[in-house]
Amino acid sequence: MATKVAGVVNVAYLFALSQFLVAWVIAALYVRAASRFDAMAHRIVENFKARSR
């Protein structure tokens, strides 16, 4: 972990920083998937309303 990459910057610091990036990327992927779930939920509700009419 203490291996230097550039100057004093070591693997440990880059690893710590990478967690911020990973968190943001996972969040972005989820938000994309969730807009698909929103559409599915919307369809289910519409179907239900149409049938109970």
Partner 1 sequence: MSPALAMFLGFIAITLWITWWAARRNTGSSAYFAAGRSLAAWQNGVAVAGDYMSAASFLGIAGIIAFQGYDGFMYSVGWLVAYLTVLLIVAEPLRNAGKYTMADVLAYRLSPRPVRAMGALSTLTVSTFYMIAQMVGAGALVSLLLKDTGIGFETAVIGIGVLMIVYVVFGGMLATTWVQIVKAILLMAGTILLSVLVLAHFGFDLGAFFDAIGAVTYTNAQGVSVTQDFMTPGLRYTPPYGALDLISLGMALIFGTAGLPHILVRFYTVPDARTARKSVVWAMLIIGTFYILTTFLGFGAATIVGRDFIAANGGTNMSAPLLAQALAGDLFFAFISSIAFATILAVVAGLTISASTSFAHDFWTNVLHHGRERRAGEEVRVARITAFFVGAISIGIAIALGPNANVAFLVALAFAVAASANLPVIVLSLFWKRFTTAGAVCGLATGLVSSLVLILLSPSILRADAVFPLENPGIVSIPLGFLGAFVGTWLTREPAAERKFAELSVRANTGLGAERATTH
Residues of this chain that bind partner 1 (CB under 8 A): 1-2, 7-10, 12-13, 16-17, 19-20, 22-24, 26-27, 30-31, 34, 37-38, 41, 44-45, 48
CA distance 16 to 42: 40
Q: Residue 10 — φ and ψ, nearest 5°? A: -115, 175
Closest separation in Å from C-beta 41 to partner 1: 4
Closest separation in Å from C-beta 20 to partner 1: 5
Closest separation in Å from C-beta 40 to partner 1: 9
Query: Exposed/middle/buried for 10, CB within 10 Å: 0-12, 13-18, 19+?
Result: middle
